[in-house]
Amino acid sequence: MTRLVKVSGRGDGTDWKSALKDLQPDDVLLLAPGFYELNQGLEVNNITIKGTGNAPEETVISGFFVLDRDCSFFTLENICLQTKSDHNTIYVEDNADTYLTLRNTNLYGDENDMAAIAVNGKCTLELFSSKILNSSVSLFAQADFRLTMTDSLIDYDSKDYAALGIQGKGTAIISNSVIHGNLSTYPDSNAEVDLNNTSISYGLIHGQTWVNMLNSTVEKNDDSSFYISDDSWVNILQSEFKGGVFIDNNTKTLIQNSKIDRLIACDNAKVTLNNSSIVSHADFQDKASADATRVAFSGRDDFEYFLALNGQASLGGRDLILNPNGSTLAVQDDAKIKLNIVSSSSKDLEVECNSRPNVNILGMRWEAKKNND
């Protein structure tokens, strides 16, 4: 039977130490505003902890929690949780099969790059209107997970570690949220990641990962601020990339109604573009193949080529818009291009190529220029 346990240090409820000593499964601890300490951490077993203040910062717990095989669920609501040094704020053991839910809760990591939430076992993780600050959420290789993150923030812009690291197998659904830092999957990942109306700093997609990205933004301006690799499948719709999208290996990528500053595809990558724009530069290398419909390819002063192909890369396109802005189109080596142009910012197009038969452009005048390299 569920017990409601009022906890306060002012004499109008059970004190914190007594509540912990008498803790039973299914208890709901109602914490009055104040500061509560867990010197040795706490192994939790089917409990809920709620702060009764007006904001999470009014009810602070200093310590950490562990979820093991005996814990079916653990819920934190309207709480601020600060970890002790050298501990994960919340740790899910590899033999666990549990639900972990945070509502209107703030987790602060320590200064030693320990994950705020570390999942090793089977876990349904729910973050609602919560903040992970100065630390990460890590779903490790052993994890069997389902992550739901809504109206939440992960703020951990580390050069060495992911803000949200996804290994193991499972599904991550991230909506109306912000990730300051890397969202990363790994070579051994087997995961589906759905981004809906969400902003991330970087994305690093590896392994066998399926990504659905809707109405979302990648904020950083690096050449590979969104990197797609290995055997990943990525479906992008109505999204914006302020830097570069770099695609390699055996990936398959569908991009629709989106805006990308720079696009590079190499190895055996396959790319399909519809109703989208490439602002500064597009580059297809090796055996990469691309198909484009109603796409605008534009150039910028600091790029020699607005569109370049080399190796055995190929690009087919229909109803395209070209805006070279002073830069050149290059078709080098054994690469092939077949384009139908509906509009261009210039009357004539200069194409740097080794073999004129490899270039087929309809809809505008173009002139072949021999590559002297």
pLDDT at 112 over 90: no
Whether the CB-CB separation of 180 and 156 falls below 8 Å is answered with yes
Average pLDDT value for residue range 332-349: 95
Q: Mean per-residue pLDDT for 101-116? A: 90
Mean pLDDT of 24-33: 96
Minimal CA–CA distance to 268: which of 244, 294, 295, 287? Answer: 287
Measured CA to CA, the distance from residue 53 to residue 34 in angstroms comes to: 9
Q: 372 pLDDT exceeds 70?
A: no
Distance in angstroms (rounded) separating the CA atoms of residues 149 and 101: 10
Give dist(CA 251, CA 372) in Å, integer. 33
pTM of the model: 0.95
110 has pLDDT over 80: no
The 10s digit of each residue's pLDDT in 217-258 is 999 999 999 999 999 999 999 999 999 999 999 999 999 999
Position with higher pLDDT, 129 vs 8: 129
pLDDT, tens digit (0-9, with 9 covering 90-100), for 53-73: 999 999 999 999 999 999 999
Q: What is the mean pLDDT of the chain?
A: 95
pLDDT band, residue 373 (cuts 50/70/90): low
CA angle 338, 341, 346 (to 5 degrees): 120
For residues 112-118, give the mean pLDDT. 90
> Residue 177 pLDDT more than 60?
yes
Length, in residues, of the chain: 373
Residue-wise pLDDT tens digits, 194-210: 999 999 999 999 999 99
Note the pLDDT of residue 19.
Answer: 94
Average pLDDT over every residue of 23-40: 94
pLDDT value at 111 more than 80: no
Residue 255: the pLDDT is 99
pLDDT in tens, 151-163: 999 999 998 999 9
Within 8 A by CB and 6+ apart from 98, the residues are 67, 71, 72, 73, 74, 92, 121, 122, 123, 124
Q: pLDDT value at position 85?
A: 72
Cα distance from N-terminal residue to C-terminal residue, the chain: 80
Q: Is the pLDDT of residue 109 over 90?
A: no
Take residue 24 and report the two structure tokens written for it: 């039973």
